[in-house]
Chains A and B, each alone.
Chain A
Amino acid sequence: MTPEPLLEVADLRVRFGARVEAVRGVSLTVNKGETHCLVGESGCGKSVTALATMGLLARGAVRSSGRLRFAGQDLTNLSERELSKLRGDRMAMIFQEPMTSLNPAFTIGSQMAEVMQRHRKVTRAEAMERAGFLLFKVGITNPALRLGQFPHQLSGGLRQRVMIAMALMCEPELLIADEPTTALDVTVQAQILRLLAGFQRELGLGILLITHDLGVVARVAHRVSVMYAGEVVESAPASQLFANPTHPYTRGLLASVPVPGKIARGSRLGSIPGTVPRIGPGFAGCGFRDRCGHASEACAGPIAVQQAGPDHIYRCQLQASWPQDQAA
Chain B
Amino acid sequence: MTKPAIAIDVQDAKRLFTQSAGAFAGTRVVRAVDGVSLQVREGSCFGIVGESGCGKSTLARLIMGLLPLSSGDILVDGQRLSAMDRKARARLIQPVFQDPFSSLNPRHSIADLVGLPLTAQGIAGRERGTRVAEMLERVGLPGAIANRQPAQLSGGQRQRVAIARALVLRPRIVVCDEPTSALDVSVQAQILNLLADLQAEFGLTYVFISHNLAVVEHVCDEVAVMYLGRIVEHAPTAELFETPTHPYTKALLASVLTPEPGLGIPDVGLGDAYPDPANIPTGCRFHPRCPAGQPPCITETPAPRFGAGRMVECLLAPPPSTASVSPV
Chain A: residues with CB nearer than 8 A to chain B?
41-42, 139-141, 155-158, 161, 185-191, 193-194, 197, 212-221, 238-239, 242-243, 252-263, 265-266, 268-273, 275
Contact = CB atoms under 8 A, between A and B. Distances in A.
A119 B313 CA distance: 52
Contacts of B127: none
A158 B274 contact: yes
B213 to A, nearest CB: 7
B71 interface: no
Interface in B181-197: 184-190, 192-193, 196
Given A215-B256, A275-B156, A186 B274 contact: no
A190 B264 CA distance: 10
A31 B196 CA distance: 44
A217 B259 CA distance: 7
Contact of B255 (A187, A213, A221, A275): A187
B30 interface: no
A292 to B, nearest CB: 12
A287 B263 CA distance: 33
A132 to B, nearest CB: 15
B218 A263 contact: yes
Contact of A272 (B186, B217, B252): B186
A216 B255 CA distance: 11
A152 to B, nearest CB: 13
A252 B190 CA distance: 12
B21 interface: no
A202 B25 CA distance: 47
Contacts, number: 148
A211 B36 CA distance: 36
Interface centre among B186, B192, B252, B254 (most CB of A within 10 A): B186
A139 B257 CA distance: 21
B189 A256 contact: yes
B261 A259 contact: no
Chain B interface size, as a band, is: 35 or more
Given A186-B252, A187-B252, A218-B258, A260 B217 contact: yes
Contacts of B154: 275
Given A260-B213, A269-B192, 20 more contacts: A41-B184, A41-B187, A42-B155, A155-B274, A186-B255, A187-B255, A191-B268, A191-B270, A193-B257, A197-B265, A213-B257, A219-B264, A257-B189, A257-B214, A265-B237, A266-B218, A271-B193, A275-B154, A275-B156, A275-B157
Contact of B186 (A41, A189, A220, A263): A41
B321 interface: no
Contacts of B196: 266, 268
Given A253-B185, A258-B192, A187 B238 contact: no
B71 to A, nearest CB: 28
29 contacts: A42-B184, A157-B272, A157-B274, A158-B272, A185-B51, A185-B52, A186-B51, A187-B255, A189-B255, A190-B257, A190-B267, A191-B270, A191-B272, A197-B265, A214-B185, A215-B257, A218-B259, A242-B260, A252-B186, A256-B188, A256-B189, A257-B214, A257-B258, A259-B214, A260-B213, A260-B218, A269-B193, A269-B218, A275-B187
B265 A242 contact: no
Contact of A257 (B259, B270, B274): B259
B16 interface: no
Given A185-B211, A266-B218, A259 B192 contact: no
Contacts of A191: 268, 270, 272
Contacts of A186: 51, 211-213, 252, 255-257
Contacts of B218: 258, 260, 263, 265-266, 269
B198 interface: no
A239 B262 CA distance: 8
Interface of B: 51-52, 154-157, 184-190, 192-193, 196, 211-215, 217-219, 237-238, 241, 251-252, 254-268, 270-272, 274
Contacts of B155: 42
A258 B237 contact: no
Contact of B271 (A141, A221, A242): A141
The list of the 7 closest CB pairs from A to B, nearest first, reads A215-B257, A256-B189, A258-B218, A271-B189, A269-B189, A41-B184, A272-B186
A270 B188 CA distance: 10
Contacts of A262: 258, 260
Contacts of A188: 51
Nearest to B215: A258
A41 B183 CA distance: 9
B193 A259 contact: no
A272 B183 CA distance: 13
Nearest to B276: A155
A155 B270 CA distance: 15
A95 B250 CA distance: 29
Contacts of B213: 186, 260
Contacts of A258: 189, 192, 214-215, 217-218
Contacts of A255: 189
Nearest to A243: B261
Contacts of B237: 265
A194 B255 CA distance: 11
